[in-house]
Structure 1
Amino acid sequence: MNLLPLRLLPGADLRRALEAALAADGASAAFVVAGIGSLADAPLRLAGAGEARVIAGASELLTLSGSVGADASHLHATLADATGRVWGGHVGYGCRVRTTAEILLARLSEWQFSRTFDPRTGFAELEIARKPLA
């Protein structure tokens, strides 16, 4: 396991930026150790919901956790909106960094993550494989 600290800049798509950073680093599996920052108009899919709900305006990223693969990720976040109301859920594409996002990834160099559709859940779920020895 190696750590990869990141600072995402304003306008970056949180999920896409993490996937791109992992791919650029030559890794294909990581977990988020910590994540804080601020977002704008953040789509979160709440528990049991079919569609994402956009948390409109500025929000603080209080926590971020999940798995990241070079081509897909599964992230959950806790956000506080401008009134202090706290929201939590599945991070969708389109969560834009407002001022900054500071993320620490733990890269798992011997592993690769991918996502395949699981008919039991109706979602693309994590597939874990050990990388072949070089």
Structure 2
Amino acid sequence: MATELHLERRDSTPWPPPARRRRRAVRLAASTFSSVLLLGAIGWAGLHLEPDPFPSAGVTSAPVSHLPIPGGLPEPVDRFYRTLYGNQIPVVETVVISGRGHPRIAGITFPARFRFSHVAGRSYATTSS
């Protein structure tokens, strides 16, 4: 024998009650506001921390070889080379440049670091973060 069970509400009040819905909405708004505020604080703090420099490249300096200044250069270029280097120009085979900076994108200044490695005439690589 099957029995049927009918449950009826005795009053017509909405469920959940309005006070409970209001508390839930206030709690949701407060948690959303707190989350946005927390993420903003973390972002602000992250933009004000200086990155550590890259570790040493581990490259040792080799003896520098020199070449004489070639003839036939324009007068200002010849004068510049002779003022800066004398009669011999150093031959650059490899260079590693590392540094830190503050690039600005859309008005926001970001902390950054970079490393540029160059093997003359063959390859180059950049690393940044």
| TM-score, scaled relative to structure 2 | 0.22
Which structure would you say has the larger Rg?
2
User: RCO higher in 1 or 2 (8 Å CA, sep ≥ 6)?
Assistant: 1
TM-score, normalised to structure 1, is: 0.22
Structure number having the greater strand percentage: 1
Higher normalized helix content (fraction of residues): 2
